[in-house]
Amino acid sequence: MTPLATSRAASHAGDDSKAATAPRADCVADSAGGLTFDVTDPGGAGAKDTVHLLLRRRDADSAEDYVRLPLSPSADGRLRAALPSSVELAEGRWNAYAQVAGGEPRRLMPGVNDLRSLVDRAPSGSRGHVAVRIPYATKQGNLSVRSWLRAPHAEAGELGLAGAALTVHGRLYGTALTEAAYAEAVRRAEPGLVRRAEVTAEGPEFTFGLDQGPLADSGPGPWDLWLLPAGESGPRVRVARLLDDVADKKTIFTYPVVRRETPHGAVEVGPYYTNDNDLAVRVRRAGAGTETSTEGSTES
């Protein structure tokens, strides 16, 4: 075996050893937006040492970007921490750690996630906002929590597609729909370029139709979908799909595209969910295929 191969083998062995000894957390979600973490013993804790579960918001470092939850012995001999729905968690991705007596935090690995209560979740919206927390495994195999905090919130439901016509059904939380309500498609690269769609409403339920053809004629690039429940006099609410157990919908929820000849050449147009699970319409050059988008990219 060459020195390089030996080095790589040792590195992989070290990674496997860390994975085998790293503390793990099973997560249980409740329908109100709370999470319970059951953590294996992180080691190194004495009888009088305090142990915390630490959540740190990724790419941020202010005091509000850290949440410390006490870990207490549970009936099964493990440690348990609760993140109630009443504790606000700013929107973003939060990395999870175990920390013993103020020592160096250790990343948690994911165990079993019980997210059944999140399926078809329908919060009351009485607090004026919708809080969503979904634990998931990162590409590196660590535990993180995806958090959303929307006030108000327009939850996308069934999408209907017939040629270039897109129909969006959904439900509004945190405010009321009025007769002045309408929806907008806004070109992300040119926020002044807007296509308006009429909204029909029945209580908190809404429906709007959008012709994707004019969006395609403007050339490649994404369009973001918004709901204005009180027209120009009220808030603009991003249309998104958050109320289920899928942390990243972009590659899970896929929809047919329509090919269209435009002044910019042949393009394909169709709906998709962004990295933040917001609903958008993608226009891309025909034959370009599905792009692998990273956080913060133009088609995120």
Residue 230 · residue 100 · CB < 8 Å: no
Does the structure show a pLDDT above 50 at 8?
no
Tens-digit pLDDT profile for residues 94-105: 999 999 987 899
* Burial class for 186, CB neighbours closer than 10 Å (0-12, 13-18, 19+): middle
Token digits of residue 277: 């699970």
Q: Is the pLDDT of residue 46 over 80?
A: no
Residue identified by tokens 């012995």 is 73
Residues whose CB is less than 8 angstroms from the CB of residue 5 and which lie 6 or more positions away in sequence, other chains included: none
By the 8 A CB rule, do 39 and 52 touch?
Answer: no
Q: Over the stretch 117-147, which tens digit does the pLDDT of each residue have?
A: 998 888 876 666 889 999 999 999 999 999 9
Instruction: Check residues 88 and 4 and name the one with the higher pLDDT.
Output: 88
| Start-to-end Cα distance in the chain | 43
- pTM listed for this prediction: 0.86
Distances 62 to 57, 59, 143, 283 between C-alpha atoms, Å: 9, 10, 21, 37
In angstroms, the CA 280 to CA 278 distance is 6
Helix, strand, or coil (residue 14): helix
**Edge-to-edge strand list for the sheet holding 79-83:** 72-73, 79-83, 35-39, 24-29, 109-114
CB-based contact 96:25 (threshold 8 Å):
yes
Tell me the per-residue pLDDT of 242-280, one tens digit each, with 9 for 90 and over: 999 999 999 999 999 999 999 989 999 999 999 999 999
d(CA 48, CA 267): 65
Domains of the chain: 24-150 (2.60.40), 153-285 (2.60.40)
Query: Distance between CA 88 and CA 175 in Å, rounded?
Result: 20
Q: How far apart are CA 96 and CA 118, in angstroms?
A: 20
